[in-house]
Amino acid sequence: MRKIIYQGDKFIKDSGIFFGRGLFETILIKEKPEFLKFHINRLKEGLNKIKLSPLEENLEELIESQNLKNCVLKIVVTEENIIFTTRNIPYKKEDYEKGFNLTISNVFRNSTSIIHKIKSLNYLENVLEREKALEKGFNDCLFINEKGNVCETSTGNIFFVKDEKIYTPDLKEGLLNGTIRDFILKEFDVKLKNIKVEDLKNYDEIFMTNSIIGIMKIKKIDDYTFSHEKITSLVLKKYIERIRRV
């Protein structure tokens, strides 16, 4: 059994602390945890991929016992610890009205690496590249892999719309199967496609997703601008219906 740690408690020193061998999940909590089963299943699959022992603990019961509302819950699992922390939901109505602007990172994703396909504690590259983007006045950065194909942003998946058809990169390009990405692929007819930077100008709409932000329209990627929102709005509507219904 792992040690259960809540905010401020002491943890056991292990390979997660010293070498980043561990995983995390970030869960949106409104009246209840959203997409909880997906988060837990992905966590279990990830532990197997990095060869850590399976969870013996019932995470659903542990989360429910905290009686959390309207916050972000982060769960970190290492060899010896399960760490729970919470923070406020960071995004406001104004963020969704404005949309996000992205800049293309000059750091390439490695499509052969497992690191970008799991919620690894080795997250420094994402943190540093996002900070660079923020310093330049952007909201996030967009990663390209060694083949020149678009992957994801530092904080979420990305979708492209052309002639009302939705496209997104394949997981094999070196990206995470995000919570909301999985939801959209089940709810809409989405085509997996290799997308080059030079192809960006050909798309009508772009939006990004993650478990906390939900659906965020992209207004600009460096010098490319996107003014249409029809399909993005439909996807957002379906997402909101899902959050309210379950």
Mean pLDDT value of segment 175-202: 98
Q: Specify which residues 224 forms β-bridges with.
A: 221
Q: What is the pLDDT of residues 29-49, one digit of tens each?
A: 999 999 999 999 999 999 999
Q: Report pLDDT digits (tens) over 198-232.
A: 999 999 999 999 999 999 999 999 999 999 999 99
Which residues, 6 or more positions from 115, have their beta carbon under 8 angstroms from its beta carbon? 122
Res 9: pLDDT: 78
Given pLDDT bands bounded at 50, 70 and 90, which one contains residue 109?
A: very high
Answer yes or no: are the C-beta atoms of 178 and 38 closer than 8 Å. Answer: no
Q: With 90 as the cut, is the pLDDT of residue 3 above it?
A: no
Domain at 3-87, CATH class: alpha beta
User: So what's the pLDDT on residue 246?
Assistant: 56
Mention the CATH class of domain 93-245: alpha beta
For the chain, domain boundaries: 3-87, 93-245
Q: What is the CA radius of gyration of the chain?
A: 18
User: What pLDDT is recorded for position 18?
Assistant: 93
